[in-house]
Amino acid sequence: MSRSAHPAGPRSGSVLAEHLPATPPDDLNALASAIWPGSVRRIDGELHLGGVPVSELVAQHGTPALFLDEVDVRDRARAYATAFGGGTVYYAGKAFLCTTLARWIADEGLAMDVCTGGELAVALAAGFPRERLAMHGNNKTQAELQRAVDAGIGQIIVDSFTEIDRLAEISAAAGIRQKVLVRVTVGVEAHTHEFIATAHEDQKFGFSLPGGQAERAVAAVLGQPSLELVGLHSHIGSQIFDTAGFEIAAHRVVELAATIRDRHGVEVGELNLGGGLGIAYASARRPV
Express each pLDDT in 172-207 by its tens digit. 999 999 999 999 998 876 554 443 444 444 455 789
In a domain, 129, yes or no: yes
In a domain, 52, yes or no: no
Ranges 81-85, 119-123, 251-255, most confident:
119-123
In a domain, 83, yes or no: yes
Start-to-end Cα distance in the chain: 22
Q: What is the CATH number of the domain that holds 140?
A: 3.20.20.10
Question: Is the predicted pLDDT of residue 12 greater than 50, yes or no?
Answer: no
Q: What's the domain range around 186?
A: 73-274
In a domain, 250, yes or no: yes
In a domain, 5, yes or no: no
In a domain, 65, yes or no: no
Coil, strand or helix: which one is 271? strand
Q: What is the pLDDT of residue 135?
A: 97
Total structural domains in the chain? 1
pLDDT > 90 fraction of the chain, expressed in percent and rounded: 65
Q: What is the pLDDT of residue 64?
A: 95
In a domain, 61, yes or no: no
Average pLDDT, the chain: 86
Express each pLDDT in 30-66 by its tens digit. 888 888 888 999 999 899 999 999 999 999 999 999 9
Distance CA 220, CA 227 (A): 10
Say which amino acid occupies 33. S
Q: What is the pLDDT of residue 22?
A: 63
In a domain, 42, yes or no: no
Residue 142's region, left for phi above 0, alpha for psi from -120 to 50, else beta, is alpha
Mean pLDDT of 16-31: 67
